[in-house]
Amino acid sequence: MRSYYLCPLRVDEASNTLVIEKGTTTSDSSYQPLCDFATIDQVDFWRPSMAARLQDKFAAVSAKRVGVPRTPNTITATAVADEMYLQALDGEDQDLYDGATALKDGFQAAFNKTNPTRIDANFPMSPVVNVHQVAVVGNLVSPSA
Give 80-91 pLDDT, tens digit per residue.
999 999 999 999
pLDDT at 20: 74
User: What is the distance between the alpha carbons of residues 26 and 136, in angstroms, rounded to a whole number?
Assistant: 28
Q: Are 41 and 27 in contact (CB under 8 A)?
A: no
Query: Tell me: the pLDDT tens digits for 62-117?
Result: 999 999 999 999 999 999 999 999 999 999 999 999 999 999 999 999 999 999 99
Tell me phi and psi for residue 50, to 5 degrees: -65, -45
Tell me whether residue 127 is exposed, middle or buried, using C-beta atoms within 10 angstroms of its C-beta: 0 to 12, 13 to 18, 19 or more.
buried
Query: Tell me: the pLDDT tens digits for 1-53?
Result: 344 445 667 788 899 998 877 777 777 778 878 888 788 888 889 999 999 99
Cβ neighbour number for residue 100 with a 10 Å cutoff: 22
Give this prediction's pTM.
0.77
